[in-house]
Structure 1
């Protein structure tokens, strides 16, 4: 195969994977078969096998792709403001926006399947670490009141975990994206410097 053909094949696989991300976000994935995926994505099963060797591996690739793209979008948005408190708010709001298209079926299926659950948990831990980093930077810069950054990070981690486990949805009726918006409002208000 020529390098042009290789590039075209790589581009096609990336396009199919992006389309699969949209499908699993909207509908979940446990009920899908490879035949159904191929039909919905208007591709052959051999194209799918070019991405992954099984439906399970294909789903993992799609979930991983979703979180990779979401992380880039979240970091890009948080990089805008120079004030750490605003960065923190933008970061959490961007997480909410990225999770917005994800259906309840997607979260249920992701939680029920160990490899995708691990991807979500790892991304939640990374997000909580980023929150600690933003809080610490803001305390040093004086844009966030002197709070214990590790405590704020740990508290955010606990809430993120509760969101992930569905406990917040059960207790409040909020979906994950809405819960992250509320978390953003709570945390940014809580770390605001005192008004003088």
Structure 2
């Protein structure tokens, strides 16, 4: 659902449509895409399916939740496999519903690329730091009982902001599943390994920092 929604939003906001004609500036398009995706993400986390599964929808978040001691380690690999498979299926569903325009520029199956001059190294660092900031803030909110109910909206706000601010530089992925399906469908694999690995590295580092700040172990038998 997330990736079908992303493809749909990108198709109508960035692709040929009355919306893209009304919002000619790329930064305006990114703001609108970020707002739509942020609201969609918060809604999915709060949905019955999201509540039943934990609403991670992001391999980096699944890893972080495990490192917070709130998710069993044996479930991390199956969750990541499901998230990546869902990413590909959602992308293909978007192409099937909206037609050939999705596979053509400027939509390109909603796949991301870094800006001109960005190398794999600089992209890796930026995606690591971006995901690290998100995970650290989410982890601190989860540690404060009065703030836990705000986490879905915090995640939506942070991801939406990342899209709006980083779209022209890193692409604003901060989610391995966000890029996996679109990159496979579009055949744009040059930086895929960075988009897959860097957010997970950022999640591990940020979770360790959060646990250190709260003086808690990295993993535990605690369950949500």
Q: Same fold (TM over 0.5)?
A: no
Q: Which has the higher helix share?
A: 1
Which of the pair has the greater relative contact order for Cα pairs under 8 Å at 6+ separation? Answer: 2
TM bin, normalised by shorter chain, reads 0.3 to 0.5
* TM-score normalised by length of structure 1: 0.36
Larger Rg: 1
TM-score, normalised by the number of residues in structure 2: 0.33
